[in-house]
């Protein structure tokens, strides 16, 4: 399934989170707060992510800020 996502030009927010292993909360907060070149607004609430532009953004050092926690609170919650 990831191979198909790697070929798409536009991704849904959920697809972008899955493809780039991003934190759902951090990513959603970022795209609501800032006007970014990789976000395309469709209607009032629907947003699409331009895959190539997001890749450029993440390559500029933003990957770590938005990365999913490797063994953080989420894992502990799932184990409980």
Residue 25 CA to chain centroid, in angstroms? 9
Q: What would the pLDDT profile of 61-77 be if each residue is shown by its tens digit?
A: 777 778 877 655 544 44
The helix or strand, by DSSP H or E, that contains position 36, with its residue range, turns out to be none
Where is pLDDT greater, at 49 or 33? Answer: 49
**Is residue 23 predicted with pLDDT exceeding 70?**
yes
| pLDDT score for 66 | 84
Task: Give CA–CA dist 74/44, Å, rounded.
Answer: 30
Q: What is the pTM of this model?
A: 0.75
């Amino acid at each position: 399934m990831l191979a198909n996502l790697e070929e798409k030009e536009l991704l849904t927010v959920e697809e972008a989170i899955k493809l780039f292993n991003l934190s759902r909360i951090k990513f959603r907060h970022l795209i609501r707060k800032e006007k970014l070149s990789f976000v395309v607004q469709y209607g009032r609430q629907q947003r699409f992510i331009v895959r190539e532009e997001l890749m450029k953004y993440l390559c500029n050092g933003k990957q770590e800020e938005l990365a999913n926690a490797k063994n953080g609170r989420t894992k502990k919650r799932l184990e409980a």
